[in-house]
Structures are given as C-alpha cells and as structure tokens.
Structure 1
Amino acid sequence: MDTAQLTSDQFARKYEYDDGSVIAVDLGTAVPEPSVDLVDGTVIVVADDEQYEFDLPVEQTDAHTFIKNGVLTIELEDNA
C-alpha cells in the first residue's frame, strides 16, 4: 500500500491486488456534494470552488471512479 499527501488535510492510498489496484482519497465531509469525472486518463474532482486533477498511470486504460461518504475511489483494472 502506498500513501501520498495531496494537500494539508487530504491523503491518498493505493492498494494493489492481483487483478488491479484501488486508489482511495479521503476528501472529507466539509464539501457536501463533490463531483468526479474521468477525461483522457485524468481524474477531475470539483469540490466547492476547488478543482483537483489526478493523472492515471499511462499503462492504466480502464478506470472506474466514484465518491461515497467523502471518499474518492479510483478502481484500476490490470491490463496484463
């Protein structure tokens, strides 16, 4: 599992599995309705007046994103 700090209060964790990986980012509950979109290998999160962008690894072509209870989840399938 890898952990990275995005801002002073947001952390991302990456979990590796046999068939892919999952990146989880705790956005917190301060913003009631953040939105997420995936465009050309970039995950875009809009929360209040802030926008965050996360580039997916080049080798990852299939990803699923969603936000639930303030946690952004990015599911990456293994392309091997």
Structure 2
Amino acid sequence: MKVPQPLQNATERGIVTRTHEYEDGSVIVVDFDVTAGDVTVEVEDDTVIVANDQQFEFVRPPEATDVSVKNGVLTLSD
C-alpha cells in the first residue's frame, strides 16, 4: 500500500510515517505525537480527514480496509 501524498509531506513537519509490509497485507503507521494534542480521524466515502493542530485530507488507499487512530497514531491497514 502506498502512503498518500499528504502523509508523505507530513514528515517535513516532524510527523513520523512508516510502512510495514507483511505476507498477508500491509500497514501504514503515522505517529502524530500525542503531545501535539488529540488526533481525530473521519472517513467519509473515500476521503480521510485527520486533524490535530494540523489537518490532513487524502483519498483512502483502495487497499485500506481499516482506518483508525489511537494515542496519536493513525493506522491504515488492509
């Protein structure tokens, strides 16, 4: 699964983005740092909106069947 462009650009703002490939799928993990404040995620159709002190909006990768956030970490997995 490819990291959406807005999340690729997030690394310039100190946000850590990692992709993990496994035999049975892949996971994108984005650490917004819990000290930055609450992180929320909203999924509307194919659009994902992630917000804390910044906002990121991107098209959900077609492979991503699960989009969630916990403790400031966004996870997209298939």
Query: TM-score scaled by structure 1?
Result: 0.67
Residue 39 (structure 2) pairs with residue 34 (structure 1) = yes
Amino acid at match of 1:46: A
Structure 2 counterpart of 1:74: 76
Runs of 5+ in structure 2 lacking a partner? none
Report the CA distance between 1:5 and its aligned residue: 5.0
Give 1:11 deviation, angstroms. Answer: 2.1
Structure 2 equivalent of residue 43 of structure 1: 48
* Identity of matched residues, %: 38
Q: Which runs of 4+ in 1 moved over 4 A?
A: 2-5
Which one has a larger percent helix, Structure 1 or Structure 2? 2
Q: For 2:74, give the aligned amino acid.
A: L
The aligned length equals 72
Structure number with bigger Rg:
1
Q: TM-score, normalised by structure 2?
A: 0.69
Structure 1 residues 41 and 17, CA gap change in structure 2 (3 angstroms):
farther
The answer for unaligned runs of 5 or more in structure 1 is none
Q: What corresponds to 2:60 in structure 1?
A: 56
Cα deviation, residue 52, structure 1: 0.7
> In structure 2, what residue type is equivalent to 1:68?
K
- Equivalent residue of 1:13, what SS? strand
